[in-house]
Amino acid sequence: MKSLKTILIITILLCISINLSHAQKMYLVHVDYVNPSKLMEYNKIAKDFTDACKKYNPEGSWITAVTSDNRYMYVSPLENFAELDKNTFSDMAKAMGDDFGKMFKDFNTCYDKHGDFVITLDESLSYMPEGITQTQEGQNYRKYYFIYYKPQDQAALREAMKGVKGLFSEKGSKEYYRVYQSGFGVINSYYMVAISAKDEADSSIRGKANDELLGEGAKDVFGKVMSAAAKFEEVSGWIRPDLAYSSK
């Protein structure tokens, strides 16, 4: 049993070190899978919670993204795994008293499942020649592409995604994107590609222009990505500045 625990610890540390060697920034993501019938109620509670955070000023910051399938994702920068032990809202809870607990009880009536996991921003696979940033002014619309992979296919998928970035660079594409890799807390491994735009129409126009720029040769490049993928999922969404927070 002791040797098994040792092997598991070494395996986890190895996976973490591999992730960190490819990506400089980690993020903790809390996601609520909100029931459609509860969307209006959830939005009100989420706004009240954001306003309360601005009033009581707990340490931390996050951006909030809402997807077309009703996922509310709160994304916070994570310096290291020791931060996961911090109780960010302890002082706020004391100050608010019973109202704090009630707010989270109200949250819990709006979804059947929620959870936390860690992702890492992979700058070596991301394509933003003018500098990598999660948010761009006036571009709150998002396209998210989840590329799931089996462990034995990770190296091949990563190499294929390098080919995509190489093609975009060669053609001088203006369709910038960020790549995140799933990490601690995620069972089915994936790379997630995030593309920003003004709105759905702008995303469609830019996507079509980019396809024409990349040309017929792009089929082979993207084909290698799909060949190494176990599953592909496309989701749209919006960044919600009104539900973002940053301590003073």
pLDDT in tens, 124-148: 999 999 888 888 889 999 999 999 9
142-165 per-position pLDDT tens digit: 999 999 999 999 999 999 999 999
Whole-number pLDDT of residue 83: 81
Does 19 have pLDDT greater than 80?
no
- Burial call 128-143: b when 16+ CB within 10 Å, e when fewer: eeeeeebeeeebbbbb
For 10, 13, 204, 207, 222, the CA distances from 116, given in Å and listed in that order, are 23, 19, 31, 31, 31
Q: If you ran DSSP here, which 8-state letter would residue 60 be given?
A: -
Whole-number pLDDT of residue 137: 87
Does 17 have pLDDT greater than 60?
no
**What's the pLDDT band for 45 if we cut at 50, 70, 90?**
very high
Q: What length does the chain have? A: 248
Does 225 have pLDDT greater than 60?
yes
Does 21 have pLDDT greater than 70?
no
**186: which 2 tokens?**
């995620």
The count of other CB atoms within 10 Å of the CB of residue 13 is 10
**Mean pLDDT score of the chain, rounded to an integer?**
90
**What's the pLDDT band for 98 if we cut at 50, 70, 90?**
very high
**Residue 150: CB partners within 8 Å, gap ≥ 6?**
189, 230
**Mean pLDDT (whole number) for 209-227:** 95
Whole-number pLDDT of residue 5: 41
Strands of the chain, DSSP E: 25-34, 61-67, 71-78, 111-121, 141-148, 178-182, 190-197, 231-239, 245-246
What CA–CA distance (Å, rounded) separates 199 from 226?
26
Whole-number pLDDT of residue 232: 96
% the chain with pLDDT above 90: 81
Whole-number pLDDT of residue 84: 80
What CA–CA distance (Å, rounded) separates 117 from 115?
7
Does 2 have pLDDT greater than 70?
no
What CA–CA distance (Å, rounded) separates 31 from 45?
15
